[in-house]
Amino acid sequence: MHKLPHVITLNQENQLMKIFILYGTETGNSELFAEDVQAALKDQHEVTLVDMQNATLDMLSPENDLTIIIISTYGEGEYPTNAQAFVKIIQDKQPDLHGCRIAFFGLGDTFYTGHYNVCVKTLQKLLTGLGAEQIGPCGLHDASSGQMIDELMQPWLDAVFSDLKKQ
């Protein structure tokens, strides 16, 4: 069986946090990773998993404790099909994202030189440019590394939540 990592305790008060996980996926790898992140968090927090196709701007609101964006990079640096419309909405409407906390994770492939994880990096720039605060380091998985993506999840989540705790 696939082992799920230990659940994370947020802080001493152990509040129920409102977390949105938005995923942009082309072949399903990001979706599966997003589901794993959800499974790791759902016992401790109020987690909503959203296909970016169905994402709305209020999911990037300061009202939420955290928004997690998990997105792959395709072809010559294209956004996954299910993410394109939402990214366009953000680009067009330029919403004020001050107070909004976002963690990022990208799935890419160094095999395609020059395009490695450009989607997560562009999105990161776009959203922080609109005032959003980035929580934790941007997680990156390289399909050509041979490393299992599952191994990256716990250290990345730990870093994200320790950053969140500081606030």
Partner 1 sequence: MIENPQIAIIGSGPSGIYTAQFLLKKIPDCKIDILERLPTLYGLVQYGVAPDHQSAKAITRQFDRLFENKSVHFFGGVEVGNAIHLEELKKLYDIVIIASGLYGDRRLGIQGENLPGVLPSGRLTRWLNGYPNEELKPLLVGPHLVIIGNGNVAIDVARLMAKTDQDLINSTMDLTRHALLGGGKVKTIDIIGRGLPEGCKSDPLILRELANIPYVHLTVEGNLTPDNEDSFPQIVKNRLKVLREINNMGKPNAPCQISIRFQLKPIEIIGDNSVKAVIFHDQNKNIREISASAVVTAIGFCDAPDTVISRDRFRIKNEGELSYNLGENLYSVGWFRKGPTGTISENRVDAKEVVEIIFRDLEQSLKNKAKEKKGLASEELEKLLKARRVHWFDFEQKEEMSPNKSQNTLC
Q: In angstroms, give the least distance from the CB of 87 to partner 1.
A: 16
Which C-beta is closer to partner 1: that of 120 or that of 160? 120
Q: In angstroms, give the least distance from the CB of 144 to partner 1.
A: 5
Which C-beta is closer to partner 1: that of 116 or that of 161? 116
Q: In angstroms, give the least distance from the CB of 149 to partner 1.
A: 8
Residue 53 DSSP one-character state: G
Can you list the pairs that 31-39 forms with residues at least 24 positions away whose Cβ atoms lie under 8 Å? 33/70, 33/105, 33/107, 33/141, 33/149, 33/153, 34/68, 34/70, 36/4, 36/150, 36/153, 37/68, 37/70, 37/105, 37/153, 37/157, 39/4
Which C-beta is closer to partner 1: that of 112 or that of 137? 112
Which C-beta is closer to partner 1: that of 143 or that of 159? 143
Alpha-helical segments (H) within 17-117: 29-41, 81-93
Q: In angstroms, give the least distance from the CB of 86 to partner 1.
A: 17
| Footprint of partner 1 (CB under 8 A) | 1-2, 26-29, 32, 74-76, 81, 109, 111-112, 143-144, 148
